[in-house]
């Protein structure tokens, strides 16, 4: 019973997608132009957007940017174009998945399921993180190290919140950068080095021997309890 917005100017494909998505139990909203898509999205707030890059008025990428200004909704991009540039650009701007036309309906529906699964998993952010002597309260933005209050800056909070959401697991550089700084910052790895260092100086007993904020070389960072 999730609501899906499908944006495409090809009426045949639109119809096919509507039939298949309805058969899977989704409510389907349609838009044939970029302007209509943006308007419908903010009016109806669907849980998922299927977005064709080839639109008559706005560029699909432009639609994606406008959605991302105010929403984290999962977006699956469709494109007939072969160039890898489109793919990179779309994913950088915050698309969750990219499907090249032609595609199989089974594959498409699998990607829809995957996108919705990821979105629902992300919805539940933890409110606190506690480890030996360390406490982080993400609701009140209040942190203590051995009952001593410690001050974290806004960006430090966002980094820690993202890591706490997946605590114990590696969060890749790209994921971390995209959720904290924005979809187009996936390659600015040096930000992370600076902030990891700063955060460790605050939350770790021995910052040179971190026990909580762990680096996995070449992969990303992990918040350990």
Residues within the interface to DNA (CB under 7 A): 151, 153-156, 173, 181, 188-197, 200, 207-208, 210, 215-220
Cα-Cα-Cα-Cα dihedral of 111, 114, 119, 124, to 10°? Answer: 180
139 binds, among DNA, its own copies, none (CB under 5 to 8 A by kind): its own copies
Q: Coil, strand or helix: which one is 145?
A: strand
* Cα–Cα distance for residue pair 193/183, rounded to 1 Å: 18
String marking each residue 21-60 x if it binds its own copies according to CB under 8 A: ----x-x-------------------x-------------
Q: Are 77 and 103 in contact (CB under 8 A)?
A: no
Q: How far is the CB of 93 from DNA (least distance, A)?
A: 17
Q: How far is the CB of 49 from DNA (least distance, A)?
A: 27
Query: Which listed range, 28-36, 53-61, 105-113, 200-208, lies at the site for its own copies (CB under 8 A)?
Result: 105-113
Q: How far is the CB of 69 from its own copies (least distance, A)?
A: 24
- Nearest in space to 162 (alpha carbons), one of 200, 190, 122: 122
Among 121, 189, 197, 201, binds its own copies (CB under 8 A): 121
Q: How many CB atoms lie within 10 A of CB 55?
A: 22
* Cα–Cα distance for residue pair 96/115, rounded to 1 Å: 7
Q: Which residues pair with 48 in a beta bridge?
A: 4
φ/ψ bin of 146: left (φ > 0), alpha (ψ from -120 to 50), beta (otherwise) = left
117 binds, among DNA, its own copies, none (CB under 5 to 8 A by kind): its own copies
According to the binding rule CB under 8 A, does residue 174 interact with its own copies?
no
156 binds, among its own copies, DNA, none (CB under 5 to 8 A by kind): DNA
Q: How far is the CB of 191 from its own copies (least distance, A)?
A: 16
* Cα–Cα distance for residue pair 55/15, rounded to 1 Å: 16
Among 15, 169, 189, 201, binds its own copies (CB under 8 A): 169
Whose Cβ is closer to DNA: residue 20's or residue 184's? 184
Q: Are 202 and 208 in contact (CB under 8 A)?
A: no
């Amino acid at each position: 019973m999730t609501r899906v917005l499908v944006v495409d100017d090809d009426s045949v494909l639109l119809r096919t997608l509507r039939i298949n998505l309805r058969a899977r139990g989704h409510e389907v909203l349609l838009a044939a132009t970029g302007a209509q898509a943006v308007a419908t999205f903010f009016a109806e707030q669907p849980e998922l957007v299927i977005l064709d890059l080839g639109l008559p008025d706005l560029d699909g990428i432009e639609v994606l940017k406008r959605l991302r200004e105010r929403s984290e909704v999962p977006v699956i991009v469709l494109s007939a174009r072969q160039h890898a540039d489109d793919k990179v650009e779309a994913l950088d701007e915050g698309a969750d998945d990219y499907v090249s036309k032609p595609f199989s309906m089974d594959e498409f529906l699998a990607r829809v399921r995957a996108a919705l699964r990821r979105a629902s998993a992300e919805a539940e952010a933890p409110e606190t993180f506690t480890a030996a002597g360390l406490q982080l309260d993400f609701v009140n933005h209040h942190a203590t190290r051995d009952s001593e209050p410690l001050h974290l800056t806004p960006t430090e909070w966002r980094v820690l919140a993202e890591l706490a959401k997946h605590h114990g697991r590696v969060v890749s550089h790209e994921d971390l950068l995209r959720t904290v700084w924005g979809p187009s910052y996936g390659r600015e790895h040096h930000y992370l080095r600076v902030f990891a260092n700063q955060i460790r100086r605050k939350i770790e007993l021995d910052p040179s021997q971190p026990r909580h904020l762990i680096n996995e070389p070449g992969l990303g960072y992990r918040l350990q309890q």
